[in-house]
Structure 1
Amino acid sequence: MTDTIPRITLPPQNSAQLARMLDDRGIRHHKIGAFDIDGVLRGKYVDRGKLLSAVEQGFGFCDVVLGWDSNDQLYDNTVVSGWHTGYRDAPVKLDPTTARVLPFEPATVLVIGGFTGDYATVCPRGVLRRTLERAAGLGYAVKAALEYEFFVFDETPHSAREKGYRNLRPFTPGMFGYSVIRNTVHHEIYHELLDSMAAMDCAIEGLHTETGPGVLEAAIGVDDAARAADKAALFKTFTKVLFQRRGLMATFMAKWSNQYPGQSGHVHVSLCDANTDVNLFHDAAREHELSELMGHFLAGQVRYMPELLPMVCSTINAYRRLVPGMWAPTHANWAVENRTTAIRAIPGGAKGTRSEYRVGPADANPYLALAAAIGSGLRGIEERLPPPPPVVGNAYENPGEHAATLPGTLREATAKFRESTVARELFGDVFVEHFAATRDWEDRENRKYISDWDLARYFEII
């Protein structure tokens, strides 16, 4: 019989091509999964038949993964999932184009997907997909890239817990920003990270030490926004895997220490013509070569940032980072090539002109952060908003005459989000109510906790 299925490279487009890839690569083990509301990859091993069937027909995944927090504690305030649903199976459709052979496991493939049916409205991957469909309806293709700072410790999950996450030993001491000494002495682990991510189609464009003990920064290469989000989410997951396999730990929490700046997860975005792929943010005839369209996009990002902030700064800890002098913004503003503002316009020529959404922390769910950054910009284009005057100089001292102060806590930000008409129009009432409820839960859990600060502040003196 004639072989009608061509031999292919990644990515496969359907179950038949995926089956051929499994044969070509000698794959014996199969992982499937989906990212939850906090950006945590939840999944399991399945056999070959189950994998191919799930690509064709979908599969059921206990809806508890949309009904608990990052600590596996059940929400008591959500409608989408809870005891009232019986924690039934939620339908998930696998995306064969996400298939990746894992460099950490022999003969193992990973395929991710998203929730469908009644659960599609609250699926982070679905929220981004619908935002990109909105862009496509306006004639735009969206390019994106994310960059992450993360600290590495000479600890294990056991040792970190035994120490109560105190007095942790950094992988390397001292500040050593952009250090060639550090990346040469420890080149084996840098090379392993670079090679592993390249093998997983999450290629790192730049990797260097940042200022702080054991802190690294990785910039992931640009791609179509949907693929960029997948790459970012997988990068965070498997960077943790790589370091734990070496007896180390990587953390992406927004701020782990009072002494050092927080960890960013900056989001770079540009709009291209859907037919020609021309970067529509570039206009050589205008000041800084930034197009009028980009001005509207920036205006939307600035205007609606305070209302959409929980989609980007989604944890209690994320707001510890938004303080003056810590390389994170305090107001909704923008400027050209200025790292003190919430949005940095980058004149990168015909290919690289873009918006950098600098408010993002490393702990953000990349699907939701991208959806907020893109959705707000598209809204600015639809409303033809004029951009406010760009900040000149230090935005901490001069944030801009009418720049809105960003919410200072998750509780405040969530209240603004729930009340936002624009959030509901962009992402739907069901998502807004569900996501706001999960952030209210996070705030309540935090307020139950007695911190070291409480004890040191009040135990004796009051």
Structure 2
Amino acid sequence: MLNPRAVKTIEDAKLIVTERNATHVKIGVFDIDGILRGKYINKDKFLAALEKGLAFCDVILGWDSKDQLYDNTVYTGWHTGYPDAAVRIIPESCREIPFEDNMLMFICEFAGDAAAICPRNVLKRVIDNAQEMGFDPFAALEYEFFMFRETPESVREKHFKNLQPLSQGWFGYSLLRNSVYADLMDQILQMSEIMDFPIEGLHDETGPGVLEAALVFDHAEYAADKGALFKTFMKVLAQRNDLMATFMAKWSMDYPGQSGHIHLSLRNRSDGRSSFYDPDQAHCMSAIQRHFLAGQQRLMPEFLCLVAPTINSYTRLIPGAWAPTGATCGVENRTTALRVIPGSEQSQRTEYRVGASDGNPYITLAAALASGLHGIANQWEPEPLITGNAYDYPLPAHLMLPVTLWDAAQRLKHSEAARTLFGDAFVDHYAATREWEERQFRKHVSGWEMERYFEII
């Protein structure tokens, strides 16, 4: 019987569904916020859709994470009537869902006009650009996430206050805790293997109930699939255990934020050798890697809202909280936004540390990769590498990061590089969705405001 991860073609997809005598298949497409939207469809419809495609209502690209409709986007809205948009099933994305009996799942991507703003397609266009330049991009994503002894019902009953973490206190890299919760850890590791987003390392981070999972590296397109599926099904697995996992950038100002770091490298398409490794250069860093690093650094302020997409993202980017505050570079320096990791031909890479766990894996990876490629194309050189504490380093204005989502969206809107690399349709649509997100926040009166102003002002 065909293994789900051996499916590569439409014929393979037909065969595995037929072999398993499956009555239904699960399909899903990732929206602008990286949320998997999908449904079950019966076997006959699935088999026909493999050849002819199918359609999802384009509202998936026209509403926010709370299903509230954008009022400022051109591609879709009340003015278009929310028609169906063409969708393509990706045969090689076939996976078995371990806790659903005989259930296969396939990722889809938007086609036709919707492809211009589809996150997965945006990344694919960046990868196509890399390949035209002679490179194959590889990536590994790592995520921090907090686990709580809560349910969707209990967090609402508590109004998201006084939540109980899975564990108490600060205890990073704790063998005590991961042994106590070995059954849960085993479920996570087994799910990651069965669904093919294998975890290279899983450990307790510092803080109550926080874990970090580093996914195994892969070609950039599939690394993004794996990151997006990991985030989705980690939340599923948690809730099936009467727990909740959050990938918010910062759930409490008492604890460090939750990162979504991206490790990137390029290989020469001609011979498969590392494009970043040069043993004769300082830190084994080739000219290609220097240019790549410079592109990431120079464009980071313009691309920030692609990797810091929520209001909450900006509460993480503060000094001394293991998150960068400027577009800085360093070698093996975790206070900088970009960390050069010297190594062998197999391990030489850059780590894009500004990203948080709340980012859409397709969009964050597209931003980190495209900016680096732009640096190569223009042969840019990075600013002097920082040693020591980057938070104490006086930054020039052009390396300062926007401090709010609104400001970051404006930088993206006016970025010529973003329009060149991602296309006008995507930039206009995405920037509008971030402006919408900021406007929703401004309609809200927080508990902090009530406590600070109600009586005294």
Confirm or deny: 8 A CA contact 1:209 1:215 kept in the other structure: yes
Partners of 2:22 and 2:320 lie apart in 1 by 50
Q: Equivalent residue of 1:79, what SS? A: coil
Q: Equivalent residue of 2:229, what SS? A: helix
Partners of 1:11 and 1:413 lie apart in 2 by 41
| Pair 1:388-2:383 in alignment | yes
Q: 1:83 aligns with which of 61, 71, 78?
A: 78
Which residues of 2 match residues 7-22 of structure 1 at below 5 A?
Answer: 10-22=5-17
1:3 paired residue number: none
Confirm or deny: 8 A CA contact 2:55 2:86 kept in the other structure: yes
Q: 1:150 aligns with which of 127, 142, 145?
A: 145
Confirm or deny: 8 A CA contact 2:4 2:94 kept in the other structure: no
Q: Equivalent residue of 1:85, what SS? A: coil
Q: Equivalent residue of 1:332, what SS? A: coil
| Pair 1:189-2:168 in alignment | no
Structure 1 unaligned regions, length at least 5? 1-5
Q: Equivalent residue of 1:270, what SS? A: strand
Confirm or deny: 8 A CA contact 1:331 1:403 kept in the other structure: no
Q: Equivalent residue of 1:407, what SS? A: coil
The residue type paired with residue 437 of structure 1 is: A
Q: Equivalent residue of 2:346, what SS? A: helix
Q: Tell me: CA distance 1:136–1:162, structure 2 relative to 1, closer, same or farther (3 Å).
A: same
RMSD after superposition: 1.2
Q: 1:66 aligns with which of 61, 64, 80?
A: 61
Q: Tell me: CA distance 1:191–1:378, structure 2 relative to 1, closer, same or farther (3 Å).
A: same
Partners of 1:436 and 1:373 lie apart in 2 by 17
Deviation at 1:79, TM superposition (A): 1.1
Deviation at 1:416, TM superposition (A): 0.7
2:196 paired residue number: 201
| Pair 1:225-2:220 in alignment | yes
Partners of 1:139 and 1:344 lie apart in 2 by 24
Deviation at 1:24, TM superposition (A): 4.0
The residue type paired with residue 437 of structure 2 is: E
Deviation at 1:402, TM superposition (A): 6.6
The residue type paired with residue 181 of structure 1 is: L
Deviation at 1:15, TM superposition (A): 2.4
1:358 paired residue number: 353
Deviation at 1:50, TM superposition (A): 1.3
1:256 paired residue number: 251
1:410 paired residue number: 405
Q: 1:431 aligns with which of 414, 426, 449?
A: 426
1:348 paired residue number: 343
Partners of 2:225 and 2:352 lie apart in 1 by 18
Deviation at 1:127, TM superposition (A): 0.3
Deviation at 1:13, TM superposition (A): 2.2
For normalisation by structure 2, the TM-score amounts to 0.98
Partners of 1:456 and 1:348 lie apart in 2 by 52
**Which string of whole-angstrom CA distances, capped at 9 and with x for unpartnered residues, describes residues 274-314 of structure 1?**
13221111111111111110000000000000001111001
Structure 2 unaligned regions, length at least 5? none
Confirm or deny: 8 A CA contact 1:410 1:443 kept in the other structure: yes
Q: 2:289 aligns with which of 288, 294, 306?
A: 294
2:415 paired residue number: 420
For normalisation by structure 1, the TM-score amounts to 0.97
| Pair 1:34-2:29 in alignment | yes
Please say which of residues 272-281 and 249-258 is displaced more in the overlay. Answer: 272-281
Identity of aligned residues (%): 53
The residue type paired with residue 14 of structure 2 is: A
Partners of 1:406 and 1:15 lie apart in 2 by 45
Q: Equivalent residue of 2:265, what SS? A: strand
Deviation at 1:399, TM superposition (A): 5.0
The residue type paired with residue 13 of structure 1 is: K
Q: Equivalent residue of 2:248, what SS? A: coil
Q: Equivalent residue of 1:68, what SS? A: coil
